[in-house]
C-alpha cells in the first residue's frame, strides 16, 4: 500500500527539513525522507550541517577556543591555572551531545508540524498520474506518491585524486571532527572555510598545522584587505599557510601521511604529517536518487539543474541547497527550502542572493555580505570605502580582542551600502546588522545616524559607516 502526500522532501538537512516544515505550515500533507544514521543506526536528521558540518565544527571551535584562552589569555585577566589539560574524548563527547540535541530537535519539530518522517533512502521509481512514485529503502520499506517533490540531497566531500578518504589518516570533514587525540603534525589541503576552521581547532589544541593551498591568493573570494589582515593573524598564531602549491602525490601508511608538492616557486617539497585533512570543496549528492527513472536533469558537475526559483526540468519537482547551484551554505539551503514551499502554495517565495552572509568561524572571525572592493573595481563601479579598526573600539579592548576591522563600501553617488566586510571578534554576529541594512537598501549615512549601544562591538560598524564620509569620531 502506498501513502500519498502533497509534498515529499528527499533529504532532511537544513534545506530539506526546513522546506518540509514550511510546507506543512502552509497546510500541505508533507513527508520528509532522510537516510542519515546515528551511531546506533537510528535517524539523525539535520544532514551534513547538523551531523558533520556547521554544528559539530562550531562545538569544537568553542571547546578549543576555551582551551586557547585558558592557556594564553586568562593570565592577562589575573586568572592563574595550573596543569591545564585537554580531554579530547570528553570534548568529542560534548560535541556528539550537541549534535544529538539538534537531531532530536528536528524530530520534535517534525512531530509538532505533523510532517511524516521516513528514515531511509528515497529514490524516484516513476512518474504517475499527477505526481511521482518514490520508494523508501530502509528498515521499513515504503512506497510514497507525491504531487510535489523537493530534492534536498546535499553534497559530499570532494576527494583529492589518488588520495581516497580513509578517515584514519586522510580525513574528510567527517574524520576531521573526530580525531581521537591531538595529532603532533596536521596537514590541511585547501584553505577554504572548512580547512581553516578545522585547522584552527587542532592548532589551538597543540597540533603543528600546515595548510597547503593551490590558489596563489589567500581567501580569494574575500575582500583582500580583510583576507590580508586574517592571514597576518593566522600566521602570528602559528598556522603555516603555503599558497600556490601543486600537489603531486599523497602517500599514507601506518606512520602517517606524506604529501609531495611543488611550492609557489616550483621547488619540490615534502610534508610529513600524522593526519591529513582534505578540504578542497564538495560535490552535489544525487547518489541513489535514481534520477534516470524520471529524467531529472543534472549538469556536468552532477548538480540538479534548476532555474532561478529552484524548478527542475520536471513539473512538480524542485531542488534546493547544496545539490543545486549557488553557495554551499546552510542558511542559503534554508531560504531556498522556505521559498520553494511558498511557491508550491502559489506564493511569491524569494531568496536574495546579494544579501547572503558568509562567515568563517576562525579566530578572528571573518564575515561579509555583498560585494568586495576587488569586485567593485572590476565592475568599474564608483564607491567610497570606510574602515574602522577594533583597536579603537572600547568593548574590543575590554574583551582583550582588538584584531581586525569593519569595512564598509558604499556607492559613490547614492551612498547605498554595497558590501560590508568584517574580520574580528564576533564578526559572525555583527554581520547581521549589515545584512538587514542591505536588505532595506540602507545608505552608509543611515547606519552612521543610528544609535548603537556603548560599549559594543557594533559601534565599529557605525564608525566604519562614518568613515565612508571621512568623519569617524573615535579614530
Q: Say whether the peptide bond before residue 455 is cis (omega within 30 degrees of 0).
A: yes
Question: Which residue among 5, 6, 14, 187 contacts ligand FAD (CB under 6 A)?
Answer: 14
Q: Does 95 bind ligand FAD (CB under 6 A)?
A: no
* Minimum separation from the CB atom of position 89 to ligand FAD (A): 20
Contact call for residues 424 and 407 (beta carbons, < 8 A): no
Is 122 a known ligand-binding residue? yes
Rounded CA-CA distance 354/48 in Å is: 24
Indicate whether 326 belongs to the interface with ligand FAD (CB under 6 A): no
| Residue 360 or 410 having the CB closest to ligand FAD | 360
Cell 551511531 maps to which residue? 39
Residue 362 DSSP symbol: S
454 catalytic residue (yes or no): yes
C-alpha cell at 310: 529552484
Residue 365 lies near ligand FAD (rule: CB under 6 A): no
> Does 153 show up as a binding residue in the annotation?
yes
Determine whether the annotation assigns residue 322 to a binding site. yes
Q: With binding defined as CB under 6 A, does residue 199 bind ligand FAD?
A: no
Give the Å distances, CA to CA, from 470 to 67, 173, 372, 385, 441.
Answer: 40, 44, 20, 9, 21
- Asked whether position 22 contacts ligand FAD by CB under 6 A, the answer is no
The distance of closest approach from Cβ of residue 47 to ligand FAD in the complex, given in angstroms and rounded to an integer, is: 2
Distance of CA 155 to the CA centre of its chain: 12
Rule CB under 6 A: is residue 329 a binding residue for ligand FAD?
yes
**Positive or negative: CA dihedral 327, 283, 19, 307:** positive
Is 196 annotated in some ligand binding site? yes
- Binding pattern to ligand FAD, positions 30-69, x when CB under 6 A? ---xxxx----------xxx---xx--x------------
Q: Is 152 in the site for ligand FAD (CB under 6 A)?
A: yes
Largest Cα separation within the chain, whole Å, is 73
Tell me the residue ranges of DSSP E strands in 138-236: 142-151, 155-157, 170-171, 185-189, 208-212
DSSP secondary structure letters along 44-87: --SHHHHHHSHHHHHHHHHHHHHHHIIIIIGGGGT---SS----
Q: Pick from 15, 190, 386, 424: which binds ligand FAD (CB under 6 A)?
A: 15
Q: Is 58 annotated as a binding residue?
A: yes
In whole angstroms, the minimum distance from the beta carbon of 348 to ligand FAD comes to: 22
Q: How many residues bind ligand FAD (CB under 6 A)?
A: 38
Residues making up the binding site for FAD:
58, 122, 153-155, 322, 328-331
Interface contacts to ligand FAD, rule CB under 6 A: 10-16, 33-36, 47-49, 53-54, 57, 121-123, 152-155, 173, 194, 285, 288-289, 321-323, 328-331, 333, 361
User: Catalytic site residues?
Assistant: 454
Amino acid at each position: 500500500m502506498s501513502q500519498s502526500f502533497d509534498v515529499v522532501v528527499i533529504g532532511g538537512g537544513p534545506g530539506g527539513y526546513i522546506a518540509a516544515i514550511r510546507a506543512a505550515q502552509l497546510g500541505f500533507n508533507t513527508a520528509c525522507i532522510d537516510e542519515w544514521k546515528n551511531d546506533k543506526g537510528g535517524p539523525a536528521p539535520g544532514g551534513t550541517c547538523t551531523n558533520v558540518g556547521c554544528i559539530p565544527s562550531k562545538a569544537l571551535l568553542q571547546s578549543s577556543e576555551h582551551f586557547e584562552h585558558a592557556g594564553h589569555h586568562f593570565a592577562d585577566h589575573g586568572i592563574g591555572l595550573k596543569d591545564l589539560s585537554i580531554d579530547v574524548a570528553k570534548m568529542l563527547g560534548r560535541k556528539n551531545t550537541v549534535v544529538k540535541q539538534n537531531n532530536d530537535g528536528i524530530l520534535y519539530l517534525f512531530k509538532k508540524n505533523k510532517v511524516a518522517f521516513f528514515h531511509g533512502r528515497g529514490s524516484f521509481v516513476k512518474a504517475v498520474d499527477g505526481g511521482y512514485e518514490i520508494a523508501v529503502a530502509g528498515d521499513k520499506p515504503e512506497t510514497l506518491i507525491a504531487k510535489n517533490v523537493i530534492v534536498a540531497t546535499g553534497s559530499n566531500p570532494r576527494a583529492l585524486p589518488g588520495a581516497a578518504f580513509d578517515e584514519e589518516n586522510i580525513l574528510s570533514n567527517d574524520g576531521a571532527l573526530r580525531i581521537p587525540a591531538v595529532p603532533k603534525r596536521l596537514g590541511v589541503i585547501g584553505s577554504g572555510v572548512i580547512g581553516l576552521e578545522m585547522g584552527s581547532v587542532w592548532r589551538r589544541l597543540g597540533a603543528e598545522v600546515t595548510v597547503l593551498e593551490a590558489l596563489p591568493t589567500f581567501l580569494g573570494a574575500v575582500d583582500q584587505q580583510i583576507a590580508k589582515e586574517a592571514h597576518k593573524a593566522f600566521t602570528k598564531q602559528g598556522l603555516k599557510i603555503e599558497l600556490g602549491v601543486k600537489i603531486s602525490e599523497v602517500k599514507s601508511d601506518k606512520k602517517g601521511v606524506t604529501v609531495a608538492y611543488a611550492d609557489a616557486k616550483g621547488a619540490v617539497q615534502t610534508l610529513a604529517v600524522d593526519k591529513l585533512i582534505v578540504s578542497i570543496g564538495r560535490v552535489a549528492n544525487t547518489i541513489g536518487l535514481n534520477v534516470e527513472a524520471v529524467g531529472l536533469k543534472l549538469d556536468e558537475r552532477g548538480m540538479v539543474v534548476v532555474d532561478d526559483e529552484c524548478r527542475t526540468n520536471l513539473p512538480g519537482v524542485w531542488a534546493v541547497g547544496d545539490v543545486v547551484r549557488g553557495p554551499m551554505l546552510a542558511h542559503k539551503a534554508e531560504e531556498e527550502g522556505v521559498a520553494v514551499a511558498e511557491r508550491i502554495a502559489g506564493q511569491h517565495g524569494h531568496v536574495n542572493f546579494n544579501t547572503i552572509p558568509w562567515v568563517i568561524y576562525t579566530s578572528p572571525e571573518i564575515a561579509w555580505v555583498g560585494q568586495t572592493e576587488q569586485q567593485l573595481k572590476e565592475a568599474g563601479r564608483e564607491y567610497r570605502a570606510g574602515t574602522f579598526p577594533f583597536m579603537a573600539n572600547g568593548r574590543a579592548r575590554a574583551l582583550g580582542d582588538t584584531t581586525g576591522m569593519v569595512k564598509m563600501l558604499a556607492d559613490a553617488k547614492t551612498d547605498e551600502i554595497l558590501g560590508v566586510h568584517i574580520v574580528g571578534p564576533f564578526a559572525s554576529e555583527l554581520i547581521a546588522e549589515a545584512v538587514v541594512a542591505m536588505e532595506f537598501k540602507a545608505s552608509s549615512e543611515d547606519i552612521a545616524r543610528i544609535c548603537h549601544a556603548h560599549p559594543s562591538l557594533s559601534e565599529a560598524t557605525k564608525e566604519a559607516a562614518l568613515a565612508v564620509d571621512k568623519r569617524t569620531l573615535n579614530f
